[in-house]
Structure formats: structure tokens, C-alpha cells
């Protein structure tokens, strides 16, 4: 194919890239500002712009000048490259500005989860019920939004389970929309630095192997082991850690919800690379009678 006007095409590509950078930077600036507890007006004074201009920056419709970026970098303690790429540890910013939230005692114990483990459920509630509903759900358990700015912060597994119970009893999470929750486990927010790694896997089998070997990025409540690797699939076991004996995750409300969640995450994960879902066969399940562990045989769909 011959390009009629290559200069025009290059200019268009550069415009798209600039627009993408502005969008990422705007969202990052907004999260940084909120993590630090700084108002738009105060940020505007720091950057020599009006509050309405700060609003445009955060919406991605206005860029910042180099000296403004540098000033923001020095003030918030974040390098410019990190701001432009949207890779910022918001928790550290909160610490810098003494903005750490009080975590209820319940969520300090059994802190073997990562904050990112809760992301799919929060995003699901945002999309299904709205941001206001999600904020009220967090407030119900005395959880501040600021707690969730650092995906790798440790937190109790009770956090995910309590929010899941609430969503079930409130009718927000049902059998009909459970697939929408599973879809959120393939988001970049949830997978973080692993996102580009997953995107470049050559096959579904390699993809799921990579996921299982990196589950410690999400939580340490269960031990994930690859028992057998086959040409078109593998056999996986999931064993609850010792501390999970003291955590209620199979009660009357939750039932086997966590089990279905893990099976859905695994079986649907090939969609990450545009492949078909795995065929998942449950060989053992401690939710359904087995002594301790779950064992799944997963195979590439024909």
C-alpha cells in the first residue's frame, strides 16, 4: 500500500501519542494531588496556573510546560519519567505528606493479600453500581479510598471477602453478572507490571504458567502449584496457607464464591491474548468435599 501523504500520517501519529501522554499525565497528576491532600487551587499556585487550568490538565486536555513538570516533580518527590508513564507509588506520596489512613484492626491481621487483589471487585462495583455506591461500600467498613492508591500495599484477606459479602447480600454481585467481575481480572490496574508480560506470551499455556508463577504479586493466601505440564494444558493445585484455617471464606453468604472466582480467573485468562477460554475440569475441590486442596485440569479449547 502506498501512503499518499506520509508527512501528514506522521503528524497524525505524533498527535495521537501526545494526546495519550496528556491523558496519562493528567490522570497521574490527579491521583498524586489527591494522595497528597492538595487542592486544585493550591496546585495551581504551585504551577503558576489557574484552578480551571489544573482541571484541564487532570482531564487530559491541557499539557504542562517543562518547568511546571519539574516543579511538580520536586514538590511531590516523583521523577518526571514516572509521571509521564503513570508508574507512581502513590502510597509513598501519601507518606510524604503524612496522609496515611487509619486501617481498621480487622484489616491489619492476616495481611497476606495485596491491595491490588481488591481492584477487580472495586472496578466491577464502579461499573455496575457507580462510584458513589463503591465509596459507600468502603465507608461501611471504615476503609478510606486512599488505602487503595498503592496496589502492592499489604492488607488482610478479610478486605476482599468483606466487600464480596456486602456485594452479594446487597444484590450487586449475582450469578448473572459474575462474568463481568472476572473480566476485571484482566485489567492493567489489577495486573500492574505483569500486564505487558502477559500481553506478549505466545500461547495460552505459557500465559497461564506465567500467571500462576507470579500469584505472589496478588496474594499469599493460597499456594499455586503446577503439578503437570502437558502439550495442550496443565494440571494445577491450589492449597490454602496455614493462616486460612482461621479465615471464614466458605460461610453461608460466600458459599463457593471464592472458588468460582479463582476458576473463572484461570479459565478466562487466555482472553488476555485474544485466545479462547480454557476447558477447566475440577478434579478435586476442598469447597466440594476434598480434604484440603483444589486440583484443576486446564486444557486449550479446541
Domains of the chain: 6-96 (1.10.260.40), 113-300 (3.90.1520.10)
Give the lowest-confidence range in 14-28, 51-65, 103-117: 14-28
Average pLDDT over residues 183-209: 95
Task: Say what the pLDDT of residue 226 is.
Answer: 96
Q: Residues 112, 220: contact at Cβ < 8 Å?
A: yes
Give the SS3 label for residue 233: strand
Q: Which residue has the higher pLDDT, 5 or 299?
A: 299
d(CA 70, CA 80): 7
Burial of 65 (0-12, 13-18, 19+ CB in 10 A): exposed
202-230 burial code (b ≥16 CB/10 A, e <16): eebbebbbbbbeebebbbbbbebeeeeee
Strand locations in 190-268 (E): 222-230, 233-240
User: Tens digit of pLDDT for each residue in 199-218?
Assistant: 999 999 999 999 999 999 99
DSSP 150-197: -TT-EE-THHHHHHHHHHHHTTSS-TTTHHHHHHGGGSHHHHGGGHHH
User: Tens digit of pLDDT for each residue in 42-70?
Assistant: 999 999 999 999 999 999 999 999 999 99
Amino acid at each position: 500500500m502506498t501512503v499518499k501523504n506520509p508527512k501528514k500520517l506522521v503528524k497524525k501519529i505524533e498527535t495521537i501519542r501526545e494526546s495519550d501522554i496528556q491523558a496519562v499525565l493528567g490522570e497521574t497528576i490527579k491521583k498524586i494531588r489527591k494522595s497528597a491532600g492538595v487542592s486544585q487551587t493550591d496546585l495551581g499556585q504551585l504551577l503558576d496556573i489557574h484552578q480551571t487550568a489544573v482541571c484541564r490538565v487532570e482531564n487530559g486536555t491541557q499539557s504542562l510546560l517543562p518547568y511546571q513538570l519539574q516543579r511538580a516533580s520536586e514538590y511531590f518527590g516523583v521523577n518526571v519519567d514516572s509521571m509521564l508513564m503513570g508508574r507512581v507509588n502513590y502510597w509513598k506520596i501519601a507518606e510524604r505528606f503524612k496522609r496515611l489512613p487509619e486501617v481498621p484492626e480487622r484489616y491489619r491481621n492476616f495481611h497476606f493479600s495485596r491491595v491490588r487483589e481488591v481492584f477487580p471487585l472495586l472496578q466491577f462495583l464502579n461499573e455496575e453500581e457507580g462510584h458513589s455506591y463503591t465509596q459507600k461500600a468502603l465507608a461501611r467498613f471504615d476503609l478510606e479510598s486512599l488505602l487503595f492508591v498503592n496496589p502492592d500495599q499489604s492488607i488482610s484477606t478479610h478486605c476482599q471477602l468483606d466487600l464480596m459479602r456486602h456485594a452479594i447480600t446487597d444484590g450487586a454481585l449475582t450469578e448473572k453478572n459474575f462474568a463481568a467481575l472476572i473480566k476485571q481480572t484482566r485489567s492493567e490496574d489489577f495486573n500492574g507490571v505483569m500486564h505487558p508480560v502477559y500481553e506478549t506470551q505466545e500461547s495460552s499455556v505459557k500465559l497461564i504458567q506465567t500467571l500462576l508463577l507470579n500469584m505472589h504479586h496478588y496474594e499469599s493466601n493460597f499456594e499455586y502449584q503446577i503439578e503437570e505440564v502437558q502439550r495442550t494444558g496443565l494440571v494445577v493445585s491450589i492449597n490454602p496457607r496455614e493462616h486460612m484455617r482461621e479465615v471464614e471464606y466458605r460461610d453461608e453468604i460466600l458459599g463457593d464464591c471464592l472458588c468460582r472466582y479463582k476458576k473463572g480467573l484461570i479459565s478466562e485468562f487466555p482472553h488476555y491474548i485474544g485466545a479462547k477460554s480454557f476447558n477447566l475440569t475440577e478434579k478435586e475441590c476442598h469447597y466440594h468435599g476434598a480434604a484440603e486442596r483444589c486440583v484443576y485440569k486446564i486444557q486449550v479449547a479446541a
